A and B are shown apart, each in its own frame.
Chain A
Amino acid sequence: MSSTGDTLRLRESGYVSKRTGTRWMVVIGLEVHCQLKTRTKLFCGCEYRFGAEPNSITCPKCTGQPGALPVLNREALALAVRTALALGCEVKEKSKFDRKHYFYCDLPKGYQISQYDQPYCTGGGIRLAHGKFVRLTRIHMEEDAGKAIHDRGDKTLVDLNRASVPLIESVTEADIESAAEATEYLASFKEIVQYCGASDCDMEKGTLRCDVNISVRLAGEPLRTKVEIKNLNSFRFVAAAIEYETARQVEAYESGDPAQFPVQETRLWDPNLGVTRTMRSKESAHDYRYFADPDLPPIRIDRAFIERERSSLPELPASRRERYESAMGLSAKDARVLTAERVVADFFEACVRLGGKAKDCSNWIQNELFCMVGDAEINAATFDEIQIRPHDLVSVLELIEKGVIQGNAGRTLLRAIVKTGRNAKSLVTELGLEQVQDTLQIETWCREALVGKDKIIADVKSGKPNALNALFGPVMKASGGKANAQVVRETLQRLIEEM
């Protein structure tokens, strides 16, 4: 990062008060909770499923029945370590679980098992596109709470299915200075965690949740009062809440009335009104009374464990994008689209390894396969669910390249493969998709197409070769898409010249 670049950015960052024209600095830290993709909960064998019937996935342990004890899920630890490695954190050899106490109806034991003064990892971070490095303070493991439902009648209902589901909570330093940086950080964070296979990071299903800590200050000043915003369940809300809260805080300070100055508090984002409002002020701040959970022996993460997880780490998206552009010659846009999801990137790379041309594979994945997601005929809700192997796409591309089939026929073939699960070769014959090379047949179709098209013929003759395109379509249509395009073009050209 060059010093000029840095100065430039600093000059542009911040928030300019509409009333006074003063430039305020915005100071943001993020706390992100991710649900780890284990089969069972963090401390019991219940198999969590999103959207299951209420209280159908619980047992004495996750509901805090008297006498029940927690037992740590090894896979949760492995996924947490893998994520830490992907984010460049330092995994601690020794860590422990602590009890964090507060009373709420969705917290079965009256405490949450979390990590306090000895989290399993510290440090690490994410580099943003313009070069800034957002530092992570720490990541720790903890169990989720259940769910309280407030919108049914005059009582609150409690579903403990989610209680004790494994989470990692990551906390950044206050390095973020704008809504744009916050969303970029989150997108990148989500991408990395998904790549590790540690979490789905689906904000709609609550497997990624984000809290924002935000304050404003004038350049050269120390930090001012920090406000926490909770209940942000989309990147859009994160950005909107930051923007709203920045303006609110600046306005409060500029009012000059200390009674209106921001106080240290927790605020909730109201997505309907687009505002933040007070949830809990500092006066009722918690005294969590953390102490080491005597039911869980300390954790020692040894070298071998770390190396095993390190070796299972995939190549991360930033590195892949770099490679797709420099070694494969893809555009930055293509590289970004292909790496947005690891399944896609992995599929793309497998195709290239099988001999597919990078650009062709990229086009076909983006133009054809992406359209199949959500297509009623295909029955795939995600890319992952499309029934196709890298080998299938490469076969189709090869058939096109060798001139066996037309590009359009290739599309038909690809869909047929996905729908039937059969291989390309057998389907080509069965569906009669081979290109027609028979020049006589092609000439017949061309002659038919030329009938009554005197204007086009005249245009072509007067040196407008593009006019030919209007004839090209009808010929291809007549051939059922199978005519060799080159032969069609040559034949039309010849027939017009002969006229």
Chain B
Amino acid sequence: MNSEPTAADQVALVHTIARLARLEIGSDEATALAGQFTSILQQFRGLASLDVTEVEPLVSMSGAESVTRADVPEPSFAPDLMLAAAPERDGDFYRVPKTVGGEE
């Protein structure tokens, strides 16, 4: 937010963020988005001018705390119902492209 990023920086940033968000974007799209990004963030710069050191972040909207439920079973849904919208299934499994273990 401090030093001015170059247009190339912005495009690279858009690509990095897009990868994180699992959005495949082409280079034209990235350039366009980088421009929009810059102008949107420009508009939002006023936020940086406020002194918020003593301010608590607003995290809970309802003001409630420790909302819990009892450990009492409820009926699960039938596999057919849950899998009805799946793009691909194999028996009662969801099916996805082959992947090795672990996240990513």
Hey, what's the 0/1 contact readout for A277-311 against B, CB within 8 Å counting as 1?
00110001011010010101111110000000000
Provide the main secondary structure of the chain A interface: loop
Contact A103 B93, beta carbon cutoff 8 Å: no
Q: Give min CB distance, B30 to chain A, whole Å.
A: 18
Instruction: Tell me how far the C-beta of B21 lies from the nearest C-beta in chain A, rounded to whole angstroms.
Output: 9
Q: Is A156 touching B96 in the complex (CB atoms < 8 A)?
A: yes
- B4 interface residue (CB < 8 Å to A): no
A-B interface pairs (CB < 8 A), number:
146
Residues of B within 8 A of A158 (CB): 93-96
- By the criterion CB–CB under 8 Å, are A55 and B92 in contact? yes
**Distance (Å) between the CB of B65 and the closest chain A CB?**
4
Taking CB atoms and an 8 Å cut-off, the chain A residues in 32-53 that contact chain B are: 38-40, 44-47, 53
CA distance A268 to B79 in the complex (A): 32
For A52, the closest partner residue in chain B by CB is B76
Could you say which residues of chain A place their CB within 8 Å of the CB of B102? 104, 230, 266, 268, 279-280
Q: Which residues of the other chain, B, contact A45 by a CB distance below 8 angstroms?
A: 69, 72-75
Select from chain B the residue with minimum beta-carbon distance to A58.
Answer: B82
B36-74 interface with A by 8 A CB criterion: 59-74
Question: Are the CB atoms of B94 and A44 closer together than 8 Å?
Answer: no
Residues of B near A59 (CB, < 8 A) are 74, 76-77, 82
Which of the residues A46, A287, A296 comes within 8 Å of B76, measured between beta carbons? A46
A131 at the interface (CB under 8 A from B): no
Cα–Cα distance between A56 and B91 once the two chains are bound (Å): 12
CB distance from B76 to the nearest CB of A (A): 5
Nearest-Cβ distance from residue A45 to partner chain B, whole angstroms: 3
How far is it, in angstroms, between the C-alpha of A102 and the C-alpha of B22 when the chains are bound? 10
Task: Say if the beta carbon of B3 comes within 8 Å of chain A.
Answer: no
Q: Is the CB of A40 within 8 A of B72?
A: yes
Please name all residues of chain A whose beta carbon is closer than 8 Å to the beta carbon of B90 when the two chains form the complex: 152-153, 155, 157
Question: Whole-angstrom distance from the CB of B71 to the nearest CB of chain A?
Answer: 4
Q: How far is the CB of B69 from chain A (nearest CB, A)?
A: 5
CA distance A71 to B20 in the complex (A): 28
Chain A residue contacts of B65, Cβ below 8 A = 297-300
Contact partners of A102 in chain B: CB under 8 A: 103-104
B83 at the interface (CB under 8 A from A): yes
If the complex has contacts A55-B82, A96-B59, A297-B62, are A155 and B98 also in contact, measured as CB distance less than 8 A? Answer: yes
Q: Given the complex, which residues of B lie within 8 Å of A58, measured CB to CB?
A: 76-77, 79, 82
Instruction: Assess whether A150 is interfacial by the CB under 8 Å rule.
Output: yes
Closest 3 CB pairs of A and B: A45-B74, A75-B71, A157-B93
20 additional A-B pairs beyond A44-B74, A56-B92, A300-B66, beta carbons within 8 Å, are A39-B71, A46-B76, A53-B79, A54-B92, A55-B93, A56-B79, A57-B76, A59-B74, A74-B71, A102-B103, A105-B96, A149-B93, A150-B98, A155-B95, A157-B95, A159-B94, A268-B101, A268-B102, A294-B61, A296-B67
